Amino acid sequence: MSKPAPKLTVRQAVAMWPADAPRGEVSKFCRKHGVSRAWFYKVRAEAEIVGPVQAMATKRPVPLTNPTATAAAMVELLLATRTALESGGYDYGPLSVIATLSRKGFAPPSRATAARIFTRAGVVIPEPRKKPHNAQKRFVYPQPNACWQIDATEWLLACGKKVAIFQLIDDHSRLALASLVATGETSEAAIAVVSLAIERHGVPERFLSDNGAALNPSRRGRTGALVEFLKSHGVEPITGKPGKPTTQGKNERFHFTLHRYLRKQSVAGTMAILQAQIDTFDQYYNSEREHQALPGKQTPQEAWHATPKTPAPARPEPAAPSQEPRQGQQRRVTKGGRVTVLGTAFNMGKDLAGSAVHIIYDHTTIMFFDAHGTEIITHPRPAKGTLYVGNGKPSGVAADPRGARKKRTKYPPRKRPDSPPTNEVSTES
């Protein structure tokens, strides 16, 4: 047990000790207060250098050795690993550095220790106002294949051409199921990446996407090719609310991780080279990178195998053969953006005015295509006697409320005939 530090009054007396004190007074003082002569003269020497007031302040003793301190070799290894991960475009936070070293057989320190080492080295900027990860409550499906998420992000090739990257992940395990580079965000590319994922991992129970025309335009009042493809496999397609990208937050964060990786790679000159880079990233992401949102320091691949998968949904019964053969017609869109077929006017939009559209219909569905064969819109075949079918887009005041207000305020309000005059002067006395 260490000896308690002398009282402040004792230290004050030593700091203010007179230079002309009689011989032997120092020894008497030390015996009386239980301090050593070495401590006495140490305080006296400090008082002569910094002054009596500063010498009176008690100081925390500094140990000569610190057995629990992180070894210098481990500090260098932590900093070198962080630099290597950052230069490679991978996550380089304390948890990622620790995970990398642990998988190589090292015994790194805790996350807090690694964070302090990085801060002391000046390689990170502390953000005390940033919300901690444990303050976020995430919704996660209980099993793999319970729900998949898809989204597309844009990237530029070396020639400046813009391409789309489809990323498909499992909600439960965060496994990168499949990724595909395409010329654009089209339903054909979406079906291709989903087909690849189904071939590798089976059929999911639900399928989450945004409300894009190539993914799931159901909230726009029409169906889509990907939606019909999923329904044919028994999958339930679902979407988030328009303007609420946080519903697809897991995929949005996945885009960020991919972009950071691609920015550290050489710029791809072709779609094939970019696809190879993304395949390499998916392999690292699935099998080497411990995902911080997963419990137990697991990689997505480990989380995928840790829980039984959701059984594949039953395929729907095949539809009865159509009583009416599928027919086709060709019409030209009017100046008002409409096409009349089967006695019903369908709104195509004024941006298509004057263009030719191809129409295919049977007893259940009517589909419209442009001259290049791209689907414009699909509707359930309206009941006989229906005069008009809109395209699901707002019009009039709902489409342009500011313009409508200007039009209303252009002329003053009309005066009712029975309202009394306001500017006439009475002649009665």
344 closest CA partner among 378, 379, 375, 384: 384
Structural domain contains residue 422? no
pLDDT of residue 159: 93
Structural domain contains residue 48? yes
User: Quick one: 283 and 375 in the same domain?
Assistant: no
Structural domain contains residue 61? no
What is the residue range of 239's domain?
147-306
> Above 80 in pLDDT, residue 203?
yes
pLDDT of residue 411: 53
User: Quick one: 295 and 214 in the same domain?
Assistant: yes
Structural domain contains residue 371? yes
301 closest CA partner among 282, 290, 287, 291: 287
Structural domain contains residue 367? yes
User: Quick one: 83 and 51 in the same domain?
Assistant: no
User: Quick one: 160 and 289 in the same domain?
Assistant: yes
* Final residue in a domain of this structure, among 280, 306, 332: 306
Structural domain contains residue 141? no
| Band of pLDDT at residue 424, cut at 50, 70 and 90 | very low
Structural domain contains residue 426? no
CATH of the domain at 275: 3.30.420.10
User: Quick one: 155 and 298 in the same domain?
Assistant: yes
* Final residue in a domain of this structure, among 258, 282, 306: 306
User: Quick one: 166 and 289 in the same domain?
Assistant: yes
Per-residue pLDDT reduced to its tens digit, 208-266:
998 888 888 877 767 788 988 999 999 999 988 777 777 778 888 889 889 999 998 99
Number of domains, the chain: 4
> Above 60 in pLDDT, residue 51?
yes
User: Quick one: 183 and 271 in the same domain?
Assistant: yes
* Final residue in a domain of this structure, among 274, 306, 338: 306
User: Quick one: 226 and 343 in the same domain?
Assistant: no
Structural domain contains residue 421? no
User: Quick one: 156 and 287 in the same domain?
Assistant: yes
pLDDT of residue 414: 58
The whole-number average pLDDT for the span 47-55 is 78
User: Quick one: 165 and 297 in the same domain?
Assistant: yes
Report the alpha-carbon distance of residue 124 to residue 117 in Å, rounded.
10
> What pTM does this model have?
0.57
Per-residue pLDDT reduced to its tens digit, 321-359:
555 567 788 899 999 889 999 889 999 888 889 999 989
Per-residue pLDDT reduced to its tens digit, 57-74:
656 666 767 777 888 888
User: Quick one: 188 and 211 in the same domain?
Assistant: yes
User: Quick one: 246 and 152 in the same domain?
Assistant: yes
> Above 70 in pLDDT, residue 283?
yes
What average pLDDT is seen over the chain? 82
| Pair of tokens at residue 384 | 């006989």
pLDDT of residue 146: 93
pLDDT of residue 175: 92
